[in-house]
């Protein structure tokens, strides 16, 4: 019996350091990919459910993959997933999926079927530049963002999130100090003195920035001084 206990104890002692070492290796690999912006598209998403984390990470990756593709050549999640690579890291009871793809591979997907490349429009001379009218930019925050912004005060927003969590619309929320890595989490920012909401930010994108989900413009947490800002992170269902 003592021998069995000794063996089990030895296994635990060996496995724990190996697990920590493996996680450190994965984080190092992720950082290497993030630094090669000229080579890879990448993104990440954190969620309690692994499948949801993987799918949402891929959807976010698609925003960059499709950014330089025409309307007739936009790719879907199903088309990209066979070419994408994933790194999964457990963060407490959350699952983080990091997804990446070589830019050359992303460009090649479905290129043979791109109608603009192989089927010129009849009556339009080849190599003739076309002039397009400037598109007026319009951005409307989604219903959730509008509801939070209308709530205004820190404690009222906290109560709203608590209520939405009870209804299953919000899975988790908390303070930044509750998590090690909040780069893949949505954020709500408040003025630390007035306790009023300032704005809301998306998770970090492949460009290293967040999107301001109130204005639609690129933004960063660094734009808001830590000594003047209180932050709540949240994960929607």
Can you tell me the mean pLDDT for 33-46? 86
pLDDT (mean) for 26-35: 85
Tens-digit pLDDT profile for residues 206-233: 778 899 898 888 888 888 888 788 999 9
Between residues 51 and 4, the one the model is more confident about: 51
Residue-wise pLDDT tens digits, 145-195: 999 999 989 999 999 999 999 999 999 999 888 888 889 999 999 988 888
Q: In terms of DSSP H, where are the helices of the chain?
A: 2-34, 50-65, 77-80, 103-108, 115-118, 143-151, 154-166
Taking only the tens place, the pLDDT of each residue in 109-121 is 866 443 333 333 3
| Residue 138, pLDDT score | 62
Q: Where are the domains of the chain?
A: 2-114, 143-236
Q: Return the pLDDT at 20.
A: 58
Asked whether 212 and 218 are in contact (CB, 8 A), the reply is yes
Q: For residues 154 and 152, what is the distance between their CA atoms, to the nearest angstrom?
A: 7
Residue-wise DSSP of 64-125: HHTTTS-GGG---HHHHTTT-EEEEEEETTEEEEEEEEEHHHHHHTTGGG-HHHH-PPTTS-
Q: Is 155 helix (H, G, I), strand (E, B) or coil?
A: helix
pLDDT over threshold 60, residue 67: yes
Query: In the chain, what percentage of residues exceed pLDDT 70?
Result: 79
Q: Calculate mean pLDDT across residues 56-83.
A: 83
Average pLDDT, integer, range 81-98: 84
């Amino acid at each position: 019996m003592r021998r069995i206990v000794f063996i089990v104890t030895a296994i635990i002692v060996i496995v724990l350091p190996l697990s920590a070492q493996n996680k450190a290796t994965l984080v190092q690999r992720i950082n290497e990919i993030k630094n090669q912006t000229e080579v890879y598209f990448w993104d990440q998403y954190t969620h309690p459910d692994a499948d949801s984390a993987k799918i949402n990470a891929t959807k976010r990756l698609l925003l960059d993959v499709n950014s330089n593709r025409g309307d007739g050549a936009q790719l879907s999640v199903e088309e990209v997933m066979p070419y994408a690579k994933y790194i999964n890291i457990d963060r407490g009871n959350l699952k983080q999926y990091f997804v990446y793809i070589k830019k050359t591979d992303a460009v090649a997907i479905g290129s043979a079927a791109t109608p603009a490349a192989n089927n010129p429009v009849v009556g339009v001379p080849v190599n003739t530049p076309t002039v397009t009218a400037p598109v007026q930019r319009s951005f409307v925050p989604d219903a959730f963002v509008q509801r939070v912004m209308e709530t205004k005060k820190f404690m009222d927003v906290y109560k709203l999130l608590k209520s939405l969590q009870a209804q299953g619309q919000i899975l988790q929320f908390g303070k930044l100090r509750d998590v090690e890595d909040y780069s893949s989490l949505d954020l709500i920012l408040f003025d630390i003195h007035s306790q009023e909401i300032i704005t809301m930010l998306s998770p970090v994108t492949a460009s290293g920035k967040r999107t301001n989900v109130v204005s639609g413009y690129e933004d960063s947490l660094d734009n808001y001084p830590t000594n003047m800002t209180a932050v709540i992170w949240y994960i929607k269902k």
